[in-house]
Chain A
Amino acid sequence: MYAYDAFDHAFVQDRANEFREQVARRLAGALTEDEFKPLRLMNGLYLQLHAYMLRVAIPYGTLSADQMRRLALIARRWDRGYGHFTTRQNIQFNWPALVDVPDILDSLAEVEMHAIQTSGNCIRNVTADPFSGAAADEIEDSRVWAEIIRQWSTLHPEFAFLPRKFKIAVTGAEADRTAVKFHDIGLRMRRNAKGQVGFEVIVGGGQGRTPIVGITIREFLPKQHLLSYLEAVLRTYNLLGRRDNLYKARIKILVAETGAAVFTKTVEAEWERIHGGALTLPQDEIRRIEAHFAPPLLVAALADGGYAAARLESPDFAAWCRSNLFAHRVPGHAIVTISLKPAGGIPGDATAEQMEVIANLADQYACSEIRVTHEQNLVLPHVRETDLFAVWQALVAADLGTANIGLISDIIACPGLDYCNLANARAIPVAQRISRHFADPALVEEIGPITLNISGCINACGHHHAGHIGILGVDKHGEEFYQITLGGAADDDAAIGQILGPSVPYDGVVEAVDTIIQTYRSVRQTGERFIDTVRRTGINPFKEVLYADR
């Protein structure tokens, strides 16, 4: 993991001190709420329906066990004993008092954490592949580049007041686990014909009210030019992005209105003038950052007899292994995803006690490392097969043993109307009802791989556009209704879901989802995933059944 040096420590502490002053000025009335807003937002502090919400950055979703323990402590001391892991690989605390926030930031700084740029119209916390450094299908570790971008973008003087927020994702694996095409900039590591590794640069993806799949503006960018190229894109956006309409201010609109060709030309022309300058990354500096992410010393092991036996003896363990493990690059090891989606639970929520259980497991079995996924689950990236049964038992004891990763009850949901002042409808109770309905592990496994995403409003924080099944809460004359889309995807074949038909009332959502699933089970071909069926048949078979009686 990246470890702060004197520079990082001083910087984060200076920033925490600055915010302490700003909070004091706000509390003394020297700053209006309007003026305080951009300052608190750049420190991750939102004002929601009932209280302030603090969003803490977990850069590229990587946490140490000690950092996780500190999050548990914060949840206990300054919040209500839990935290909410987000689709940006961050964590949100829903009930901090404004006067306490400077103390929370100090506490975070002690464990090399902060809330810088987790909100506001700036370059947000960078996301990366949660399986970085562990996955068998990796080209290079994306965290190295995410860390370099984190540093460069932190309090970047030129890009602190962009037209709108700006999200960057980096993936270094063959399979995309970051929704790279749904970001303002998506960086995908590629190997060119000469065997060199560089970046494919994807720009202008995003969700919200105008969902767009990003387009590639550069097939191959040599690694040392990463920062100058980012600066060229950001400067182009800062100067030309729309500022007259909040809903048309993201870079995706600029790209769409300018046209991909002209936009690309503008960026390339700007880059032509700055590349080779101060932002060129020196080899030894890249190596210095890389050294932080050197893989742990894992010893390859033969298939473990005990592990195989445990799978045979315990069907529950076997089911969990089938859904929650991913291939590790070192034989005899596995990547474990811990589901934060128990039946009837709030997607992404973890109690302080659960955080501590996971921290202890990470220390004992997983090189003290934890990752957060954009699907709002947690990951132990390096676990020996020999230890899997013990890890699973400990997880089950903490209500963290749900075997549903990538299955229908592994729901992404935004906080919705239960917390958020932008929401039109509730998302959490809808997710809870659906996961309760699909609580039978055998049924869930039989349905197979599928994503179901719920947003409580058009801003799409719950990624409904990118869900195989997407559910969007809307307000109809003061009543909550839900629009259903099918066929969205966040992976390599990124797509935006198609609207199925008229929205359904709150009480009809579970039934509608059930009907869609029944339809899928009756029309699918052997071994065909849900998304493949939808792609093959289109939405009509589903539409016909769902709206048959209406």
Chain B
Amino acid sequence: MPIVKDGRIIEDEWTVLDGGDPLGLASSMPLLVTPDELKTHATSLSGFTRLGLKLEPADAVEAIAADLRRIELVVLVFPKFNDGRAFSQARLLRDRHAFKGEIRASGHVLIDQFGFLQRSGVDAVAMDSPLSKAADEAAIAEAWEREVTRFQGHYQPAQGDLSQKPSMGLRRWARFPPAVGLTAGAVVVHEVSCAAAWAY
């Protein structure tokens, strides 16, 4: 299934182990495993050069933190679009554990969530909504790009390179995409006074 990554359509090169045995697989094969499989097949997987990890929403990022240095891809799962645990998982992966590889949101993802995903540190999506039909992949890529510049600024620091430009001066916890020239500095706080001229 094609993937949209950073707004471009790419082929999915990853093989899902899916309960199988890695013994006998070429160790150069990009292999996607679960945290359990990573533990169970620790020895045979140690030779693999390209490993991906699929985290369910209930999987604690903390528990796989030590493995992240040899992981190239983390797939996060949306069983339903309104299960937002993946947003926190993504932020923990990026912010706390400095994970530099690909974070891919999979499952029931809506294009309207792209902005939130980008700002949480997700850089790729594999959607299984009706929109993911081949004809619509270009539309998904386009939607992803559109979200990058949807807002000229954001009210809070979050994850994702695109939104990590801190504003200078006022409103210091806001973030701006680098392409946008809007500055928060040009603000005048008006004297607050009463309209009524009261004489005593």
- Write the residues of chain A forming the contact surface with B, with a CB cutoff of 8 angstroms: 1, 3, 5-7, 10-11, 14-15, 18, 22, 35, 38-39, 121, 151-162, 227, 235, 238-239, 243, 273, 278-279, 281-282, 285, 288, 291-299, 301, 363-365, 367-368, 382, 384
Q: Are A161 and B155 in contact (CB under 8 A)?
A: no
Considering only residues 138-155 of chain B, those with a C-beta below 8 Å from chain A are 150-155
Which of A11, A35, A301, A382 is close to B152, meaning CB atoms less than 8 Å apart? A11
Chain A nearest Cβ from B166, distance in angstroms: 8
Is B64 interfacial (CB-CB < 8 Å)? no
With contacts A152-B173, A238-B85 taken as known, whether A292 is within 8 angstroms of B153 at the C-beta atoms is no
Which of B116, B157, B186, B194 is close to A382, meaning CB atoms less than 8 Å apart? B194
Is B104 interfacial (CB-CB < 8 Å)? no
Q: Are B87 and A159 in contact (CB under 8 A)?
A: yes
Q: Are B85 and A11 in contact (CB under 8 A)?
A: no
Which of B89, B155, B158, B189 is close to A3, meaning CB atoms less than 8 Å apart? B189
Alpha-carbon separation in the docked complex, A301 to B199 (Å): 10
Chain A residues with CB under 8 A of B120: 157-158
Considering only residues 141-185 of chain B, those with a C-beta below 8 Å from chain A are 150-159, 166, 170-174, 182, 184
Q: Give B108-131 as 1s and 0s: 1 = Cβ < 8 Å from A's Cβ atoms.
A: 001011011111100000000100
Alpha-carbon separation in the docked complex, A43 to B88 (Å): 22
Chain B nearest Cβ from A18, distance in angstroms: 6
Q: Are B152 and A14 in contact (CB under 8 A)?
A: yes
Alpha-carbon separation in the docked complex, A11 to B87 (Å): 22
The chain A residue with its CB closest to the CB of B191 is A294
The chain B residue with its CB closest to the CB of A32 is B130
Chain A residues with CB under 8 A of B91: 158, 235
> Which of the listed residues A1, A243, A291 has the most CB atoms from chain B within 10 Å of its own CB?
A243
Is B21 interfacial (CB-CB < 8 Å)? no
Q: List 24 A–B pairs whose Cβ atoms lie within 8 Å, in order of A's numbering.
A: A11-B155, A14-B151, A15-B151, A152-B155, A152-B156, A152-B173, A155-B116, A155-B155, A157-B115, A157-B154, A158-B87, A158-B158, A161-B113, A227-B156, A239-B88, A239-B89, A243-B85, A281-B173, A297-B194, A298-B194, A301-B200, A367-B194, A368-B194, A384-B198
The chain B residue with its CB closest to the CB of A280 is B173
Which of A10, A22, A273, A278 is close to B173, meaning CB atoms less than 8 Å apart? A278
Q: Are A10 and B184 in contact (CB under 8 A)?
A: no
Chain A nearest Cβ from B146, distance in angstroms: 9
Alpha-carbon separation in the docked complex, A364 to B82 (Å): 47
Task: Give 6 closest A-B pairs by Cβ, nearest first.
Answer: A161-B84, A157-B119, A5-B187, A157-B116, A278-B157, A367-B194
Chain A residues with CB under 8 A of B195: 363, 367-368
With contacts A158-B91, A239-B88 taken as known, whether A5 is within 8 angstroms of B184 at the C-beta atoms is yes
The chain B residue with its CB closest to the CB of A332 is B200
Alpha-carbon separation in the docked complex, A302 to B81 (Å): 61
What 7 new A-B contacts, CB under 8 Å, besides A18-B150, A239-B88, A382-B194? A38-B81, A152-B155, A155-B154, A156-B158, A157-B158, A281-B173, A299-B198
Alpha-carbon separation in the docked complex, A235 to B158 (Å): 13
Alpha-carbon separation in the docked complex, A526 to B151 (Å): 61
Q: Are A288 and B186 in contact (CB under 8 A)?
A: no
> Which of the listed residues B81, B129, B200 has the most CB atoms from chain A within 10 Å of its own CB?
B200
Q: Are A121 and B82 in contact (CB under 8 A)?
A: yes
Q: Are B192 and A294 in contact (CB under 8 A)?
A: yes
Is B83 interfacial (CB-CB < 8 Å)? yes
Chain B nearest Cβ from A83, distance in angstroms: 24
